[in-house]
Amino acid sequence: MRVLLLGGNGQVGRELRRTLPALGEVTVATRDGAGADMAADFDAPPALQALVQRLAPDVVVNAAAYTAVDRAESEPEAAFRVNAEAPAALARACAVTGALLLHYSTDYVFDGGNARPYREDDPAAPLGVYGASKWAGEEAIRAGGARHAILRTAWVYAAHGRNFLRTMLQLAAEREELRVVADQIGAPTPAAWIAEATAHILRRGVPASGTWHLTAAGGDQLARVRRGDHGRGAGSGSAGALPARAADYQRRLPNPGAAAGVFGAGHREAARRFRPRAPGLARRAARHRARTGPGALKALRRA
């Protein structure tokens, strides 16, 4: 199997570098080509199409995205270029070459209004530019004629990159007291596990195009995740945590998973079983015992 990995320097991309080589030959591309086999500029979608058609891989894994949720509100053109126009170009190229396109999307295609976790067939209702751009990318892939697997994930974290767990570790080391959001529910999902699941999906094969939700099992309050043992054994201090409401913070957009537990089962018992710990993050996020949300691997196994 010949795999083209796009976005090889991101949280998920770095972990995919570890899991994909077991499948065959992997060509890694990053925005500027640094530390990779080549460059793939998502600000130039036509060049991406030419790249895929020239390499003719069996699989294109797109782990690249514009992910600055708040900044997207003032940079809509950039967000749509990377999250919608680029995936559209990739889909056109994959349709020509016959490659499978595996693409990652997000819970931000929903508005958080559900009283239950979201299913794959729930109608999209993005609240802002970021979610709208990701939804437009999904729709472009579906219309592009390529074989595809769209995997929606949420609350991704890793031992590298920018994510909420690393942010809280840093703040805990700098402050004596933290105010953390206590009214958001979600399923923190290790990038390492997403990469493992992706390799498993590709190894088994994708029998039909579709969209699946790929998150860790259960759900938890954001405050509990951010608060949980960040000060024990991590060299990060022992800052206390005070609950706060998401509305207290001047973010332009709320987390859409807040009301519905994102994709995973938002049951209290499931939440108790999943407790990310800072030392585990340092040792590698892959050590967390994570399972799929209500789609993904289970759906592919039945197919």
Q: Which residues are catalytic?
A: 130
Residue 27 near residue 3, CB atoms below 8 Å: yes
Residue 276: count other Cβ atoms within 10 Å of its Cβ: 24
Can you read off the two tokens belonging to residue 96? 């020509």
Measured CA angle at 81 (ends 75, 84), to 5 deg: 115
Report d(CA 99, CA 74) in Å as an integer.
Answer: 35
Residue 61 near residue 94, CB atoms below 8 Å: no
Can you read off the two tokens belonging to residue 13? 């991309």
